[in-house]
């Protein structure tokens, strides 16, 4: 008896220490005054199921939805319909045998409505006074707030706290991309909304469609900005066998001057992850720097598009990915979440290994029960492994081992003039993750109100070209000592000084000094100038610093080959022998001239045997 009392006291202390530690964390992230979290108990329902055996244990789940003065009736209708469909299905082809072991009606769903940014105390009260008192075995967390600030921190706190208590959460929250990845993956959470990984995959599929191989990533300090960059890198790695991408810049914008990195870059395609308010400022600054014009494409995430409002600062022709976060969409997800829960309960109850496990949590904040539901981890495995039939020909609802939805659908949006000439977001396509060619796009209004897509690269791109002189292909001669220019027959300027010697050096003065710059001419230089004019690129010629062609010494390359392997240069121009070792690490053009040594002898019939050589 004393032992049980001591256990209860310890559990009570453990529970309140944990809850209070979470409360301290939440107080930090919601330090500004916020609205109080208003919550209500179970909504009133019309009884539709009467159990003959009232002694059966009850299944209970919590439902957390946005606070509304007029939408409560819609929540009630969605819950009633979902539960009614479960019971109808149990009498039809789909049998839910768990109804023989548990009572589960709309009366067993405890509903709590939440304001935009609840206080830590309100979060604790919802769990302790609303959910734990009715022994919920799962919580349905459905939110369409998209503030990506304090509301995201509140969601993070609630989900972490539910995970600490061992209660699985089936979530559909519009701002899920802002949740901390490590925390959400370690919690007992399923996510029904498209993930950040889905958004990056859809954005890159747009780039793939229009053959834009290089781009920059631009983010604000929005929650999850590091995760966005990581998701982009992982997706690029997954696609490397089918399409090559290059990230030219990854810019974290905290002040306007940060965008100068894009001005100096060759990037013409930008992926933007920020809040709508931050995007307004970023794109205003980008317009001032002239990187939003006809040749620049900005592709944005759900967090920028939000509720489809179109600020004047957004440039025409923007593209974005979007999923419906309206109240109607949220209400529809109630039925999906309840169905996922029912499938998991069915599998759990029918597994003979669970005969000694109950879905009654018996948790309490008053020290009367356990501080954590140990069966929660076990039950969560069944939730992760459900396969629920999709609607209207869509794939089954299934989850990864991290609790992320496998199959997601996103709308592709285009910012274009509407009927009144005001810019509006218009759906121009759909991306479906479960299809190999998952992107379907209609006509797009491109930046500058153009009807043709930008090239995705500068009209003239820049190349750093390393060379090693080899007459007559590349000749070196000093420039004019007075003007520093190269005469017509002496070709173009090429740097022969090392990079370290050019620090703080005035270019015009250096070009008159043959120790820094000389004039390159010859057959290879003539070809280079011809290509530059016809293809449209600028270049800088730099002599290889160690003056070597490139051999493998002690497992490392030197010379021209080393500069290519180490990405210090874009291209090498010289007379170079192709061998198997070099060809294994760099790509050669088709030789346009071949040289070598041959033995030539006079042909005299019968004097020299054909097998003499």
Distances, alpha carbon 404 to alpha carbons 87, 196, 223, 340, 447, in Å = 28, 10, 18, 13, 34
pLDDT value for 604: 64
The Cα–Cα gap between 264 and 285 comes to 15
Q: Is residue 260's pLDDT more than 80?
A: yes
Q: Report, as an integer, the average pLDDT of 504-530.
A: 87
DSSP-H helix ranges across 148-273: 150-165, 181-186, 196-209, 225-239, 260-264
* Residue 379, in any domain of the structure: yes
Is residue 494, in this structure, part of any structural domain at all? yes
Residues 319 and 416 both lie in one domain: yes
Q: b/e per residue, 425-445, with b = 16+ CB within 10 A?
A: bbebbbbbbeeeeebebeebb
Instruction: Specify if 294 maps to a domain.
Output: yes
200 and 189 in one domain?
Answer: no
pLDDT digits 0-9 by tens, 304-334: 998 788 888 999 999 999 999 989 999 999 9
What pLDDT does 511 receive? 82
Q: Which of 429, 449, 469 is the last residue of a domain?
A: 449
Phi, psi of 364 (to 5 degrees): -155, 145
Q: Is residue 23's pLDDT more than 50?
A: no
**pLDDT at residue 611 tops 80:** no
Same-domain pairing of 481 and 552: yes
- Supply the pLDDT for residue 613: 57
Cβ contacts of residue 71 below 8 Å, gap of 6+?
327, 331
Residues 6+ apart with CB under 8 A from 414: 317, 318, 319, 425, 426, 427, 428, 444, 445
Report residue 112 as tokens.
């709590």
The pLDDT value given to residue 53: 60
Does residue 402 form part of some domain? no
H helix runs in 478-568, sequence order: 507-510, 523-531, 559-565
Q: Phi then psi for 569, rounded to 5 degrees?
A: -145, 160
pLDDT number for residue 38: 39
Share of the chain above pLDDT 70, in %: 85
pLDDT per position as a tens digit, 360-386: 888 888 777 678 899 999 999 999 999
CATH code: domain of residue 522: 3.40.190.10
Q: How confident is the model at residue 52 (pLDDT cuts 50, 70, 90)?
A: low
Domain limits at 417?
196-323+409-449
Higher pLDDT, 610 or 89: 89
Judge whether residue 475 has pLDDT over 60.
yes
Is there a single domain that holds both residue 301 and residue 201? Answer: yes
pLDDT recorded at residue 610: 60
Residue 600 lies in a domain: no
129 Cβ contact list (under 8 Å, min separation 6) = none
Give me the pLDDT at residue 612, please.
59
pLDDT score of 19: 47
Higher pLDDT, 200 or 391: 200
Among the residues of 91-119, which ranges form H helices?
none
- Does residue 332 lie in a domain region? yes
How far apart, in whole angstroms, are the C-alpha atoms of residue 183 and residue 162? 12
Asked if residue 347 has pLDDT above 80, the reply is yes
Instruction: Note whether 42 and 107 are within 8 A (CB).
Output: yes
Which residues, at least 6 apart from 225, have a Cβ–Cβ distance to it below 8 Å?
219, 252, 273
pLDDT band at 437 (very low <50, low <70, confident <90, very high): confident
Q: 118 and 155: one domain?
A: yes
Say yes or no: 183 and 103 in one domain: yes
**pLDDT at residue 32 above 50?**
no
Residue 35 has pLDDT above 60, yes or no: no
Q: What is the percent of the chain with per-residue pLDDT over 90, rounded to a whole number? A: 50
- pLDDT at site 488: 67
DSSP one-letter code for 20? H
Q: How many CB atoms lie within 10 A of CB 521?
A: 22
More confidently predicted of 597 and 401: 401
Q: What is the pLDDT of residue 93?
A: 61
Binned at pLDDT 50, 70 and 90, residue 8 comes out as very low
Bridge-based pairing of strands 169-173 and 214-219 is: unpaired
Q: What is the mean pLDDT of the chain?
A: 84
Same domain, 314 and 332: no
Q: Give helix then strand counts, H and E, for the chain.
A: 16, 21
> 304 and 345 share a domain?
no
pLDDT at residue number 155: 80
Domain count for the chain, please give it.
3
133-185, pLDDT tens digit by residue?
999 999 999 988 876 655 567 788 888 889 889 999 999 988 877 666 554 44
Q: Are residues 554 and 517 in the same domain?
A: yes
What does the alpha-carbon distance between residue 106 and residue 141 come to, in Å, rounded to a whole number? 17
Shared domain for 14 and 85, answered yes or no, is yes
Least confident range of 26-40, 257-271, 277-291, 581-595: 26-40
Same domain, 426 and 514: no
Q: Report helix angle 150-165 to 2-29, nearest 10.
A: 160
Of 216, 197, 209, the C-alpha closest to 299 is: 216
Q: Are residues 234 and 332 in the same domain?
A: no
Residue 22 reports pLDDT greater than 60: no
We report the CATH number of the domain holding residue 290 as 3.40.50.2300
Measured between alpha carbons, how far is 80 from 73 in angstroms, rounded to an integer? 11
pLDDT number for residue 43: 44
Q: Within a domain: residue 38?
A: yes
| Phi–psi pair at 109, nearest 5 degrees | -110, 110
pLDDT in tens, 405-418: 999 999 999 999 88
Higher pLDDT, 308 or 301: 301
Chain-centre distance of CA 405, in angstroms? 14
DSSP state of 59: P
Residue 7 has pLDDT above 50, yes or no: no
pLDDT at 135: 92
Taking the complete model, does pTM exceed 0.75, yes or no? no
539 in a domain, yes or no? yes
pLDDT, tens digit, for every residue of 112-134?
Answer: 998 877 888 888 889 888 999 99
């Amino acid at each position: 008896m004393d032992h049980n009392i001591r256990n209860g006291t310890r559990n009570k202390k453990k529970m309140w220490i944990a809850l209070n530690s979470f409360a301290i964390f939440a107080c930090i992230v919601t330090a500004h005054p916020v609205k109080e979290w208003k919550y209500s108990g179970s909504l009133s329902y019309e009884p539709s199921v009467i159990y003959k055996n009232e002694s059966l244990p009850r299944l209970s789940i919590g439902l957390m939805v946005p606070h509304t003065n007029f939408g409560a009736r819609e929540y009630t209708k969605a819950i009633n319909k979902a539960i009614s469909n479960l019971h109808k299905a149990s009498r039809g082809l789909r049998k839910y045998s768990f109804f023989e072991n548990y009572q589960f009606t709309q009366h067993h769903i405890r509903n709590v409505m939440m304001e935009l940014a609840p206080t830590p105390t309100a979060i604790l009260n919802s769990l302790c006074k609303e959910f734990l008192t009715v022994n919920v075995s799962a919580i349905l967390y459905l939110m369409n707030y998209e503030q990506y600030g304090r509301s995201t921190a509140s969601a993070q706190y609630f989900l972490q706290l539910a995970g600490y208590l061992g209660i699985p959460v089936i979530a559909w929250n519009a701002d899920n991309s802002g949740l901390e990845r490590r925390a959400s993956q370690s919690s007992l959470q399923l996510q029904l909304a498209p993930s950040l990984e889905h958004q990056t995959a859809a954005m890159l599929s747009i780039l793939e469609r229009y053959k834009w191989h290089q781009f920059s990533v631009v983010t604000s300090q929005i929650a999850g900005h590091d995760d966005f960059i990581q998701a982009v890198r992982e997706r690029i790695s997954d696609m490397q066998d089918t399409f090559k991408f290059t990230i030219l810049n990854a810019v974290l914008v905290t002040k306007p001057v940060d965008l100068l990195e894009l001005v100096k870059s060759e990037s013409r395609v930008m992926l933007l992850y920020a809040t709508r308010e931050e995007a307004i400022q970023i794109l205003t600054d980008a317009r001032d720097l002239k990187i939003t014009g006809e040749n620049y494409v900005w592709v944005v995430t759900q967090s920028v598009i939000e509720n489809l409002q179109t600020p004047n600062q957004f440039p025409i022709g923007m593209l974005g990915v979007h999923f419906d976060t309206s109240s109607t969409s949220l209400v529809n997800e109630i039925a999906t979440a309840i169905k996922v829960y029912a499938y998991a309960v069915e599998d759990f109850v029918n597994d003979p290994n669970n005969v000694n496990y109950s879905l009654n949590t018996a948790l309490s904040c008053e020290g009367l029960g356990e501080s954590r539901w140990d069966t929660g981890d076990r039950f969560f495995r069944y939730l992760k492994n459900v396969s629920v039939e999709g609607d209207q020909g869509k794939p089954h609802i299934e989850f990864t081992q991290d609790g992320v939805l496998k199959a997601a659908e996103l709308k592709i949006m285009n910012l274009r003039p509407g009927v009144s000439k005001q810019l509006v977001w218009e759906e121009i396509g759909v991306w479906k993750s479960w299809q190999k060619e998952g992107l379907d796009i209609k006509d797009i209004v491109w930046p500058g109100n153009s009807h043709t897509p930008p090239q995705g690269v500068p009209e003239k791109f820049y190349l750093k070209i390393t060379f090693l002189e080899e007459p007559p292909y590349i000749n070196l001669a000093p420039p004019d000592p007075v003007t520093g220019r190269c005469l017509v027959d002496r070709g173009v300027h090429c740097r022969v000084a090392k990079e370290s010697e050019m620090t703080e050096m005035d270019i015009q003065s250096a070009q008159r000094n043959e120790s820094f710059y000389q004039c390159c001419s010859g057959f290879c230089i003539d070809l280079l100038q011809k290509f530059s004019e016809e293809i449209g690129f600028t270049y800088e010629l730099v002599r290889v610093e160690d003056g070597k062609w490139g051999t493998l010494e002690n497992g490392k390359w030197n010379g021209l080959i080393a500069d290519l392997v180490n990405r210090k240069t874009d291209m090498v121009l010289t007379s170079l022998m192709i061998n198997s070792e070099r060809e294994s690490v760099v790509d050669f053009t088709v030789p346009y001239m071949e040289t070598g040594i041959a033995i030539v002898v006079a042909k005299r019939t019968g004097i020299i045997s054909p097998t003499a050589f």
